[in-house]
Structure 1
Amino acid sequence: MILVLIGYMGSGKSSIGKKLAKKLNYDLIDLDDFIEEKEKATVKEIFENKGEIYFRKKEQAYLQELLSADKNIILSLGGGTPCFGDNMEQILKANNTLSIYLKASIPKLAKKLIKKKATRPLIAHIETEEALTEFIGKHLFERIPYYSKATHHVITDDKSKKEITKDVLKLL
């Protein structure tokens, strides 16, 4: 089985993915890390040197490769992955695949991300939590139609990582 974790940055895809992989004894693959390994460059370098279109084409190809793998995987996607090309449709029609949207509210995402903005190029330039909240709101407005197609939705607000992991495991 392939469990695909979908959600906005800061929603817990990586941390919940680690817990799920450990509990289920699955491999954990972060799509961005996979791309960096295959391309021998960071996502930032790929964007800077080859452009977003090149990155999105590679992202789509590597996603397809992973979705056709015949092993147990927790696949953590980048926040934008479901929103480009037909990626979300490919996830939904892939065999033996379950997609889970880790859904966090805008205020919770902003509170969490303001502390980590230096490590997130997309939001590093944003100065205040208020401005970050507005940015996330606009971004989510564009992404929700894709995220909401996921097979299951798990609300993450006010839950521990352990509780969220339990909620996901109940879906299996």
Structure 2
Amino acid sequence: MIVVLMGYMGSGKSTIGKELATLLNYSFLDLDDYISEKENASISKVFETKGEIYFRKKETEYLKEVIESSENLVLALGGGTPCYGNNMAILTNNQNIASFYLKLSIPNLAKRLFTEREKRPLISHLKSEEDLLEFIGKHIFERVQFYNKAHFTITTDNKTKQDIFEEILMQLI
């Protein structure tokens, strides 16, 4: 079984994923980390030097590679992964995959991301929380149709990690 976590940046995919993997006694993999390792460059460097089209093609290639060679894995996707190519079809048509959309409200995403925007190339140029709110709102509007195709949606606002783990585990039974 592969448990796939998707959602907007800052929604907790990696944080929840690592602990969930430990609970399930599964391996954990962050797709962005895997891509960085394979490309010998950070995601922002790949975008900068080779462009987004190259990155998105590689992202799909590596996603397939991970899925085909893995079992008992918790996989955290990049925020944009579900939105490109046939990535959602790859995820939803595989009976060995349970996909979860970790849904956090836009105001809570903005609060969480504002302090760490320097580490996130997509939002590092935004100077105010209002600009960040607007950016996230537009982005989620474009992406939500893909996120909503996940097998399950877990709304994470005002929930503890334990609450989120329990919700995910209930769906896996």
Name the TM tier (shorter chain): over 0.9
Q: Which amino acid counterpart does residue 160 of structure 2 have in structure 1?
A: S
What is the percentage of aligned positions where both structures have the same residue? Answer: 55
Q: How does 1:77-88 map to 2 (within 5 A)?
A: 77-88=77-88
Q: Which amino acid counterpart does residue 18 of structure 1 have in structure 2?
A: K
Matched, 1:124 2:124: yes
Other-structure match for 1:99: 99
Query: Once the two structures are superposed, what CA deviation does each residue of 1:93-149 show, in whole Å capped at 9, x if it has no partner?
Result: 123101000001101101111111111111111111111111100000000000000
What secondary structure is seen at the aligned counterpart in 1 of 2:140? helix
Other-structure match for 1:62: 62
Other-structure match for 1:44: 44
Cα distance in 2 for partners of 1:65, 1:36 equals: 14
Other-structure match for 1:34: 34
Question: 122-131 or 133-142: which moved more?
Answer: 122-131
Other-structure match for 2:171: 171
Q: Is the 8 A contact 1:15 1:161 kept in 2?
A: no
Query: Once the two structures are superposed, what CA deviation does each residue of 1:42-79 show, in whole Å capped at 9, x if it has no partner?
Result: 11111111111111111000001112224211000000
Q: Which runs of 5+ in 2 are unaligned?
A: none
Q: Tell me the TM-score normalized by structure 1.
A: 0.97
Q: Which amino acid counterpart does residue 155 of structure 2 have in structure 1?
A: I
Q: Is the 8 A contact 1:3 1:73 kept in 2?
A: yes
Cα distance in 2 for partners of 1:70, 1:19 equals: 18
What secondary structure is seen at the aligned counterpart in 1 of 2:16? helix
What secondary structure is seen at the aligned counterpart in 2 of 1:159? coil
Q: Is the 8 A contact 1:6 1:99 kept in 2?
A: yes
Cα distance in 2 for partners of 1:60, 1:13 equals: 18
Q: Which amino acid counterpart does residue 162 of structure 2 have in structure 1?
A: K
Other-structure match for 2:143: 143
Structure 1: which 4+ aligned runs deviate by more than 6 Å? none
| Root mean square deviation, CA, Å | 0.9
Q: Tell me the TM-score normalized by structure 2.
A: 0.97
Cα distance in 2 for partners of 1:160, 1:70 equals: 29
Shift of 1:30: 0.3
Cα distance in 2 for partners of 1:70, 1:87 equals: 17
Count how many residue pairs are aligned between Structure 1 and Structure 2. 172
Q: How does 1:7-22 map to 2 (within 5 A)?
A: 7-22=7-22
